[in-house]
Amino acid sequence: MPRGGKQEGAGRPAGTPNKATAQAREAIAAFVEGNVERLNGWLDAIAADSPKNAFDCFMDVVEYHIPKLARSEIQPLDKNGQPTDQVTELRVTFVDSRPSDTEGV
């Protein structure tokens, strides 16, 4: 191994969870899948007193079952593909796609 650095290709690939993390996620997924009806009952009982607490409990379980996505920022590029500080305007228009009462008359 070269001095002061890692050996190329050593270790697991970036983003790969270690064995304990993978096993914990599998166990939680199996628990959730095997207890869906019970979890629904528990959440309903909690929601009767506090819907917010029920939602928080649900999110705590989901957090371990579905991985969180990393935040990413998008920086606009100029015509040469270089990052720019130029402010870009994004205009969104919502259109009602439902037919109107006078359509086809």
* DSSP-derived 3-state class of residue 77: strand
Run means of pLDDT, 10 residues per run, the chain, 105 residues: 66 78 82 85 94 90 71 76 75 80 58
Give the end-to-end CA distance of the chain in Å, rounded to a whole number: 81
Please indicate, yes or no, whether the overall pTM of this predicted structure exceeds 0.85.
Answer: no
- Output the pLDDT for position 2: 56
Residue 102 has a pLDDT of 61
pLDDT of the residue at 67: 66
Distance between CA atoms of 64 and 29, rounded to whole angstroms? 8
In the prediction, which pLDDT does 25 show? 79
Which residue's structure tokens are 């064995």? 19
- Please list, in sequence order, all residues whose beta carbon lies within 8 angstroms of the beta carbon of residue 44, skipping any fewer than 6 positions away: 54
- Residues near 68 by Cβ (< 8 Å), separated by ≥ 6? none
